[in-house]
Amino acid sequence: MRGWILALAMIAGSVPAAAQEIGLPVAPGFWTNDTEKCAAVHHGYVFDGKRWGALYYYGPGGSMGPAAELEPITQTRAVADGFTQMQFGGYDGAGYFRIRSLGPDRALYRVGAPFRDEIQESDEGLIRCSLASLSPKMKAAMKRFAPAIVK
């Protein structure tokens, strides 16, 4: 009997990360720059509980698209200053993607990119937009690329 319990524990521990809920300090949904208005936004980030990435319309005035660059998060870990670092595809190189909650529906997104002999960091203040607050065009993009969070 203990052998079966141990085997089940090992199987449960080996479930691919893409099939598990990922622990980020922010709620799933559509996130955009805190300088944007949710009703008019045509670019932002999506966290659907398993994936993170960009969702956007492009071209003049956001007239083309939509396009999505959502990647499965394979691992997360706490790092300095209250951030959680996301790892995609098992790769954890010099660059990084981090997020920190600033309260309900507010976050700070930090990207670190290698440049010559240093890491250049850029921070974006983000807000989470409710589905109801998005334009019909952005709602359609959410339904297409992130159906798990569109209810």
Q: What is the DSSP string of 93-135?
A: -S-EEEEEEEETTEEEEEEEEEETTEEEEEEEEEEEEPGGGS-
pLDDT band at 12, cuts 50/70/90? very low
132 part of a folded domain: yes
Q: Record the pTM.
A: 0.81
CA distances from 143 to 57, 90, 135, 150 (A): 14, 28, 12, 6
C-alpha 44/C-alpha 38 separation (Å) is 10
On whether the CB atoms of residues 45 and 31 are closer than 8 A, the answer is yes
How many domains in the chain?
Answer: 1
Phi/psi at 80 (5° precision): -60, 155
pLDDT over 60 at 50, yes or no: yes
What pLDDT shows up at residue 83?
96
12 part of a folded domain: no
pLDDT (mean) for 142-150: 93
120 part of a folded domain: yes
Range of the domain at 115: 17-149
Cis peptide bond N-terminal to 60, omega within 30: no
113 part of a folded domain: yes
The length of the chain in residues reads 151
CATH number of the domain encompassing residue 42: 2.40.128
Please, what's the largest Cα pairwise distance for the chain? 64
118 part of a folded domain: yes
